[in-house]
Amino acid sequence: MSAAINEQLIREVVEEILGRLDPAKAGAPPPAAKPECHCPKPQANASTGGLFGVFQEAGPACEAAAAAFVKLRQGGMAARHKAVTIVKTLAEANATEWGRIELEETKIGRLDHKIEKLQGIKNVPGVEWLRPDARSGDHGITLEEYTPFGVIGAITPSTHSIPTLSGNIVNMVAAGNAVVFNAHPAASRCAALAIRAYNEAIARETGIENLCCIIEHPTLESFKALCANEHIRLLCVTGGPGVVKAAMQSGKRAICAGPGNPPVLVDDTACMKRAARAIIAGAAYDNNLLCIGEKEVFALDSIADKLMAEMENNGAVRLNAAQLERLTKAAFVFKEGQGAGCPEPVVNKDFIGKDPSVLAQAAGVNVTEKTQLLFAETDARHPFVVEEQMMPFLPIVRVKSVEEGIAAAVEAEHNYKHTSIIHSHDVEHMTAMARALDTTLFIKNGWCMAGLGAGGEGYPSFSIATPTGEGVTNPRTFTRVRRCVMVDNLRIY
């Protein structure tokens, strides 16, 4: 080949590469607009029986999700990004309606906060989270990539059904996985409604059907069938102690977002007004359904009265001893004849996530519609302190010292290693509590949601993996790390 032909060839190759990188610079015409998708609308799949990801049994749902996983892999990062964007967009666009539907089905929590939670799905991390780790040296280059598992089995709670499901899809699909859900039976209709909407849009935009599947009528049997299915490579459960135990016994690797009972410590260096406002905002959120929500407060004796006065100034309603006793009898079920002194009270499900007015009625007190939270002084062994009660009522316990407060907080947290909060300007107190509690989230001088990026730095997720240690879940949580090594003298400097 002559030098002139050689030069011409190189010029053409360089122009072609530049054209791919920047069509305008290379003088090439911009790429044609993507043709409109004419995929047929997904129909009930004859072999699996699913319609827009909603299935009657675990087996066909897992089969369909496995096929979707293969198609997602073929679609590359672009398909993942598109699917994730659809979920974020639809969650926000339907927040008001889906929030109302979820509240109507579950009858727990508050509409304004159910809407807010769905609007917040847009902040859940997506494909941008998956940056590979690379190193280069005298012996070549090594790339560690975050790659998908395949099909994930996910269990969601009654407390935030569509938000957990939506956040899980964003994280899991961004990481390249497909997912099959077994929702809480009391929140499964709204979950199936969201799944239908997501799949319909994802199939229309990407041609991938059944990327996120659900079992329409979930049961313990469908949970077991899901765990046992050969396509399920990983489990992600979000719920209380029962489901965490069941998942860990399944024989599959399980990422467990378990229960919490977050204690709050307030010392004499804190700003009482700020602490009171933060405590009310957190404990009142969605009628205290959040696993990270403030559930009991330990206040130094010297500032306890001031803190409670600030809580009253900011709209919380204080119950007296007789009112507290009436509420306790209604809000917990006790063994025959043992009354409020029973060491193992069980939360009365009829009161979980109910409005403050319902609790106030049981306590025999009138409150206005605007009341967000009730509170009362209790001792550290009170059922409202010991149990994860999920009601807009907060027990306040006086402690004589920070040491006593930390010890009581450790006991109330039950070693769930979930969330704890301190209001203090003393760094030594902060460090002592952080060390003793050793919780996944530890928030200083803020409300609980600051731990998930609302008023604090960070990002949200509705699955905070506590006993299994992955922390606030994100796309990387749902990946395998694979190393790709190229041996050569590749350094250019």
Which of 464, 477, 478, 479 binds ligand NAD (CB under 6 A)? It is 464
CB 311 within 8 A of CB 318: yes
CB 395 within 8 A of CB 376: yes
Residue 159 makes contact with ligand NAD by CB under 6 A: yes
Which CB, 220 or 346, lies closer to ligand NAD?
220
Torsion of CA 481, 487, 488, 493, to 10 degrees: 30
Q: What's the min distance (Å) between Cβ of 361 and ligand NAD?
A: 23
Residue 315, sorted as left (phi over 0), alpha (psi -120 to 50) or beta, turns out to be left
- Distance from C-alpha of 193 to C-alpha of 247, rounded to nearest angstrom: 25
What number of chain residues touch ligand NAD (CB under 6 A)? 26
Q: What angle do CA 243, 359, 330 make, to 5 degrees?
A: 70
**Span from 35-43, 179-187, 263-271, 306-314 in contact with ligand NAD (CB under 6 A):** 179-187
* Residue type present at position 97: E
Which CB, 267 or 387, lies closer to ligand NAD?
387
CB 42 within 8 A of CB 64: no
- Distance from C-alpha of 428 to C-alpha of 431, rounded to nearest angstrom: 5
- Hunting for tokens 């403030």 — which residue is that? 294
**Span from 57-65, 82-90, 334-342, 457-465 in contact with ligand NAD (CB under 6 A):** 457-465
Q: What angle do CA 366, 275, 441 make, to 5 degrees?
A: 110
Which of 355, 388, 413, 470 binds ligand NAD (CB under 6 A)? It is 388
Which CB, 160 or 423, lies closer to ligand NAD?
160
342's tokens: 């029973």
Residue 103 makes contact with ligand NAD by CB under 6 A: no
* Residue type present at position 257: A
CA gyration radius, the chain: 26
Q: What's the min distance (Å) between Cβ of 218 and ligand NAD?
A: 6
Helices (H) and strands (E) in the chain, counts: 15, 20
The residue whose Cβ lies closest to ligand NAD is: 239
Residue 181 makes contact with ligand NAD by CB under 6 A: no
Which of 42, 163, 176, 239 binds ligand NAD (CB under 6 A)? It is 239
Q: What's the min distance (Å) between Cβ of 175 and ligand NAD?
A: 18
Which CB, 239 or 345, lies closer to ligand NAD?
239
124's tokens: 């859940």
The residues in 205-224 that bind ligand NAD, with binding defined as CB under 6 A, are 220, 223
- Contact letters (x/-) for ligand NAD, 262-301, by CB under 6 A? -----------------------------x----------
- Distance from C-alpha of 347 to C-alpha of 334, rounded to nearest angstrom: 9
**Span from 141-149, 241-249, 308-316, 370-378 in contact with ligand NAD (CB under 6 A):** 241-249
Q: What's the min distance (Å) between Cβ of 91 and ligand NAD?
A: 17
Which of 243, 275, 311, 376 binds ligand NAD (CB under 6 A)? It is 243
Which of 76, 132, 242, 339 binds ligand NAD (CB under 6 A)? It is 242
- Distance from C-alpha of 276 to C-alpha of 417, rounded to nearest angstrom: 24
CB 393 within 8 A of CB 331: yes
- Distance from C-alpha of 310 to C-alpha of 288, rounded to nearest angstrom: 20
Which CB, 48 or 473, lies closer to ligand NAD?
473
Which of 155, 236, 396, 408 binds ligand NAD (CB under 6 A)? It is 155
Burial of 457 from C-beta contacts in 10 A (0-12 / 13-18 / 19+) = exposed
Q: Which residues bind ligand NAD (CB under 6 A)?
A: 155-159, 183-185, 220, 223, 238-240, 242-243, 246, 257-260, 291, 388, 462-464, 466
